[in-house]
Amino acid sequence: EQPVLEVLDLKKHYPLRGGLLGGVKGYVYAVDGVSFHVNRGETLSIVGESGCGKSTVGKAILRLFDITDGQVVLEGTRIDTMPLGTLRKRRRQMQVVFQDPFSSLNPRMRVRDILAEPIRNFGLAKDGAALDKRLNELMDTVRLPREAINRWPHEFSGGQRQRIGIARALAADPSLIICDEAVSALDVSVKAQIVNLLGDLQKELGLALLFISHDLAIVEHMTHRVAVMYLGKIVEVAPRRELFAAPKHPYTEALLSAVPVPEPGAARKRIVLKGDVPSPINPPSGCRFHTRCPYVFDRCRVDEPRLQPTESGHFAACHLHDLPAAENPLARNTPL
Ligand code: SF4
Ligand code: MG
C-alpha cells in the first residue's frame, strides 16, 4: 500500500546570516538527509531535543519554505516542487495542529466560524444544513459540547482550545495531520487527555499522524513507530515497543533513561549525557553524536554511520552494530 506521506532524503540548509564563517560560506544544517514514511492509520512520532531539526521537517512538509534537497510525496504526488497554486488545493489533505492553542486560534472569531472556514474554503458542505451537521459532528468528535460552538476562544481552557485546534484540522477532512509539540504547552493532566484523544481519532478516522515532540515520555503509550532525531538526522527508527524496550542507538538509550518507569522498583539506568547539543552550523565529523556518546571509539570520529537494520530488525545509525555482539553494549538491550 502506498504511504500517505513519504519523505526522501530531505535536506534544509540555511545560509548563515552574514554568509561567511571563517572566510567560507556558512550554512546551518538544520535537516540533513532525512527519510521516512507514514502509512494510513499509523502514527509516527519524531522525537529529539530542541534544535534537532524535527520542527523544520514538519514545516518543510507543509511547504512553509522551499527545501534544499530531497522529496516530499503526499498520496503519491510530489509536493515539494508543485506550483503553490496547485498545492493550495491539496493543502486540505494535510493539516497541522500547533503547539500554542492560545495564539493559533483567532480571538475575534467564534468557534463556529473557526471550524466553518476550512469547510467553506474547500467546498466540503453543499448547503447550510450540511455545514451545521458537519459542525456538530466535529464538536462530538473532539468531545466538546455542541453548545460551545457559539463561544469565543478566550472562554476555553488550554486543553479545550487544543480540542478546537484539532477540530479545525479535522474540518478539512485531511489524510495527514502533523502535530508539532501539540501538547507541550499544556498541563500534565491535560497533556494525557489530548494525547489519548489524538490516539482515538487516529484509530477512528484512519488518519496518518505525524507527531513531533521533544518528549519521549509523551509518545510511550500512543504511537506506532518512533523516529529519533539528533542534529538534523534520524539516528534510530523502530516500532514503539521495540524502541522503548531495547533501544539500539546510544542517544535513544540516554533519552529513555530519563523517562520514568511506571512499575515501582523497576528503574532504568540513568545515563547523563555530557555537554550540550553541538551547533548545526559545524556539526561534528563522523558520527554527529560522537562528542557526547558514552561508547565513542576511533571510527566514530571519522566515519559517518548510516541508518541500517540492526539484528533485532529496527534501524539505527551506529557503528557499534558492526562489532561482534560481545563487544556491542547495545546488543544487551533486548526486549523484555
Ligand atoms: Fe556512539 Fe560511535 Fe555509535 Fe556514534 S557511531 S552513536 S559515537 S558508538
Ligand atoms: Mg521545535
The mean pLDDT of 301-309, rounded to a whole number, is: 96
CA distances from 90 to 78, 80, 166, 291 (A): 11, 12, 19, 42
C-alpha cell at 273: 549525557
CA 306–ligand 2 middle distance (angstroms): 24
Type and span of the H or E element at 8 = strand 5-21
User: So what's the pLDDT on residue 336?
Assistant: 46
What torsion do the CA atoms of 47, 48, 50, 55 make, to the nearest 10 degrees?
-40
The 10s digit of each residue's pLDDT in 35-52 is: 999 999 999 999 999 889
Question: Which residues does 153 contact at the CB level (< 8 Å), separation at least 6?
Answer: 105, 106, 107, 109, 111, 114, 161, 164
* pLDDT tens-place string over residues 110-156: 999 999 999 999 999 999 999 999 999 999 999 999 999 999 999 99
What is 280-318 written as a DSSP string? SSSPPSSSTTTTT-TT--HHHHHSPPPPEE-TTS-EE--
Percent of the chain with pLDDT over 90: 73
- 319 Cα nearest atom in ligand 1: 5
How high is the ipTM of this complex? 0.95
Q: Pick the closest to residue 227 from 201, 206, 202, 248 (CA basis).
A: 248
- Contact of 44 with 224, CB cutoff 8 Å: yes
Per-residue pLDDT at 19 exceeds 70: no
Q: Which amino acid is at 278?
A: P
Q: Which ligand is nearest to the CA of 213?
A: 2
* pLDDT (0 to 100) of residue 20: 59
Asked if residue 288 has its Cβ within 6 Å of ligand 1, the reply is no
Task: Scan for cell 562528542, then name that residue.
Answer: 291
Q: Which of 234, 255, 287 has most ligand 1 atoms within 8 Å of its beta carbon, as the pocket-test mutant?
A: 287
For the entire predicted model, the pTM comes to 0.93
Compute the distance between CA of residue 149 and CA of residue 168 in angstroms, rounded to an integer.
12
Q: Which residues contact 221 (CB under 8 A, 6 or more apart)?
A: 195, 199
Reported confidence tier of residue 24, pLDDT bands at 50, 70, 90: low
* pLDDT at residue 274 is higher than 70: yes
